[in-house]
Amino acid sequence: MLRILIPTDFSKNAWNALIYGLDLFRKERCTIYLLHVNPLPPYSGAGSSIKASTQMLRETMLAESEKNLKKLLDKINETLPNEQHTFMTIALYDFFVDSIKREVVDKHIDLIIMGTKGASGLKKVSMGSNTGDVITKVKCPLLAVPEDAKYKIPKEIAFPTDYYINYDVEVLDTLTSVVNRNEACLRVLHITKRGEELTREQLQNKDFLHDYLRGISHTFHTITGSKLETAVQCFVESRDIDMIAMVAKNLNFFQRILFRPAVEEISYHIEIPFLVLHE
């Protein structure tokens, strides 16, 4: 049984990520934890009267969160009832990333699903955003669902790589389980500069990938281009890609796609989910 953690702030963006996840795993037996975190205020060195009012605020906020989580659960049961899915709700008053880390360990979470904002969010996403922080600081597979993503069965999954990392089998198991679950095709993508050839290390890693993926529908692709982001975008659009999967260990490569300061020319971010794989 899959154990999925879905943080929510009750926004349209969070609802879209939730619905996408429920659709993606509609045939799977899942325990789904719906989590709302009320962030702690900046620390104040004040005395006991402040502490008492803080405790009262905490209790009020948690009660409100629990009420909103119940409403969310009712909405889910009306919109996408599914006997395969068991829901648990969690309301916390804590630091956001710390809460995610703790719940991942305590609940033995297999996957986190989070929403990302559109034009004002993911296109200008910063490392300080909640999703960005979870991607980089929590070692658990994460599906980042853009605000405007519309669910369809992911039949074409792109896997950009520079072949410079040794692939952990557990990471690849997570990837291939998504591919197999959806009877999808995996498109392994390498972007190279003109005249550049693979090193011996890269060739070894590519050969390992090829051997590992035997029996799974996959192809290898190389695109020549000076701009990684533009090359990935062209590939995504030309192949009608439904999802992009990347290994978080390859962070420099990964950040160039997700966390550039200005990516106005990149449009695929707005509609295509990213599956971030951790060791």
Record the tokens describing residue 29, joined without a space. Answer: 């037996």
Q: Please check the confidence at residue 27 and state whether its pLDDT lies above 80.
A: yes
Classify domain 156-263 at the CATH topology level. Rossmann fold (3.40.50)
- What residue segments make up the domains of the chain, in order of their start? 2-146, 156-263
Q: What is the pLDDT of residue 118?
A: 46
CB 141 within 8 A of CB 111: yes
Q: Please check the confidence at residue 175 and state whether its pLDDT lies above 80.
A: yes
Q: In terms of pLDDT, which residue wins out, 252 or 158?
A: 158
Q: Please check the confidence at residue 159 and state whether its pLDDT lies above 90.
A: yes
Q: Report the relative pairing of strands 30-39 and 156-160 from DSSP bridges.
A: unpaired
Q: What is the pLDDT of residue 247?
A: 85
- What is the CATH code of the structural domain delimited by 2-146? 3.40.50.620
Q: Please check the confidence at residue 110 and state whether its pLDDT lies above 90.
A: yes
**For residue range 129-140, what is the model confidence (pLDDT) as tens digits?**
788 788 888 999
Average pLDDT over residues 142-169: 89
Contacts (Cβ under 8 Å, ≥6 apart) of 248: 135, 136, 254, 276, 277, 278
Give percent of the chain above pLDDT 90: 55
Answer whether 0.85 is exceeded by the pTM. Answer: yes
Average pLDDT over residues 228-244: 85
Q: Please check the confidence at residue 43 and state whether its pLDDT lies above 70.
A: no
Most confident of 22-31, 129-138, 164-173: 22-31
